[in-house]
Amino acid sequence: MSIPEWLQAIQTYMKMLQYNHTGTQFFEIRKTRPLSGLMETAKEMTRESLPIKCLEAVILGIYLTNGQPSVERFPISFKTHFSGNYFHHVVLGIYCNGRYGSLGMSRRSDLMDKPLTYRTLSDLIFEFEDSYKKYLHSVKKVKIGLYVPHEPHSFQPIEWKQLVLNVSKMMRTEVRKELEKFARDMRMKVGPCVRVFGSGCSCALSHPAEMGLALCQPEIMQVMRCAGGTSCLGAVSPGFGVLSTPYSYLVEGSPL
């Protein structure tokens, strides 16, 4: 299975959990918590198979891609304005083999996952901005985090906002310039500056995982046979809830 197909399988699994419209958040996500603790919460999500919102989807997406060291993951946050109110949303940015995409959950199908086809980070961000315009939302701020280490036992917290852009006060050419500089720094495995447009910046150290020191501990997704002979996604060790909905593809032996 190719990386794009694997990412699509993860997104399909998230969609099967469904978006949480209840108004009650089933899983507590504290952004300052160490990555190891957040991965335990992600395991709980797979056991309980309850509906999730955007922040929970980011944590689950990180957990499900930990076994793919060639896939870089980083949070992308949006602050938008509509009808006198401000709204916040977050997705998991993906970078692999020179292309960008995303995983996530939203009430709107075009504000969550994006295919791994965008040549630049700015192309991906502008795609989200254009999608927001369809719903009359104006994007005020975009925040980009650092690559998340592939070490699930790391005590390091996720860096959620290494780059902060007040896009409503910037020309697209300026936004593109800042995004591409940040993306270039990330690809070079150098800790980029904490940059807030219009203010000073201070530099951060690179993550050990970004220097090739991460220890990946893949888990194996297995295919089981459903009644009637159809193929469905089976249990993942440890603690991955069995899905009863049939899949049209097999993922036997794929790293999780």
Helix (H) or strand (E) holding 95, with range, is strand 85-96
The mean predicted confidence, pLDDT, of the chain is: 80
- 241 and 166 assigned to the same domain: no
Q: What is the reported pLDDT for 189?
A: 67
DSSP 187-222: HTT---EEEETTS-EEE-PPPGGGGTT------EEE
DSSP run (H or E) holding 231: strand 231-236
Asked whether residue 155 falls in the same domain as residue 105, the answer is yes
Q: Do residues 55 and 88 both lie within one domain?
A: yes
Q: Let me know whether 175 and 227 are in one domain.
A: no
- Of 236, 242, 243, 239, give the one whose Cα is nearest residue 218: 236
Eight-state DSSP code of residue 67? T
Domain range holding 225?
220-255
Task: Answer yes or no: do 88 and 140 share one domain.
Answer: yes
Residues 225 and 207 in one domain: no
pLDDT (tens digit per residue) in 183-206: 999 988 644 344 444 333 333 333
Where in the sequence numbering do the catalytic residues fall? Answer: 54, 89, 106
Q: What is the mean pLDDT of residues 69-84?
A: 97
pTM for the whole structure: 0.75
pLDDT band per the 50, 70, 90 thresholds, residue 214: very low
